[in-house]
């Protein structure tokens, strides 16, 4: 039976460093088909989140301001740390799935990074994880 965040989270998720470029993050999202990327420092400490929504807004802004031809160049020089979200919820591995599910329903978030007591990134839990769980329970 699945009871805690550890039971459902994706351990060791794809992450980018603070100094990664928007281009790096964009390629990672596209290649791995993911919508949320934790941003970590050199010690694996969670510093922020880059979401598909943030990235699309930035890309659209670049294209509107500089044109499509400048997109790749501008993406290379835009740092993740300059556009990442720093106001986000995280959870710990021993938290009950029921509590986290209630949070997802109440706050309409797409993901929650999973961290230890020192804020070191351990995993990620997404709304898609809960949908897969529901599908498995219904079959």
* Contact between residue 19 and residue 42 where contact means Cβ atoms under 8 Å apart: no
Give me the phi and psi of 53, to 5 degrees please: -60, -45
Confidence class for position 11, pLDDT limits 50, 70, 90: very high
* Contact between residue 36 and residue 49 where contact means Cβ atoms under 8 Å apart: yes
What number of other Cβ atoms are within 10 A of residue 106's Cβ? 8
Confidence class for position 85, pLDDT limits 50, 70, 90: very high
Predicted pLDDT at 134: 87
Predicted pLDDT at 137: 85
**101-117: pLDDT as tens digits:** 999 889 878 899 999 99
Confidence class for position 83, pLDDT limits 50, 70, 90: very high
Please give the mean pLDDT across all residues of the chain: 93
H-helix or E-strand spanning residue 23: helix 22-32
Question: Looking at the DSSP assignment, which residues form a beta bridge with residue 11?
Answer: 123
Q: Is the pLDDT of residue 60 over 80?
A: yes
The DSSP string of 55-113 is HHHHHHHHHHHH-GGGHHHHHHT-BHHHH-B-S---B-TTSBHHHHHHHHHHH--SEEE
């Amino acid at each position: 039976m699945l009871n805690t965040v550890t039971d459902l989270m994706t351990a060791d998720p794809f992450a980018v460093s603070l100094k990664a470029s928007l281009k790096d993050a964009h390629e990672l999202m596209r290649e791995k088909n993911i919508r949320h990327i934790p941003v970590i420092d050199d010690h694996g400490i969670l510093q922020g989140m880059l979401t598909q929504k943030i990235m699309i807004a930035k890309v659209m802004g670049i294209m509107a301001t500089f044109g499509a031809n400048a997109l790749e160049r501008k993406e290379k020089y835009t740092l993740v740390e300059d556009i990442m979200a720093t106001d986000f919820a995280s959870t710990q591995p021993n938290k009950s799935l029921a509590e986290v599910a209630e949070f997802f329903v109440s706050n309409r978030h797409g993901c929650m990074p999973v961290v230890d007591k020192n804020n070191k990134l351990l995993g990620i839990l997404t709304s898609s994880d809960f949908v897969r769980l529901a599908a498995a329970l219904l079959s």
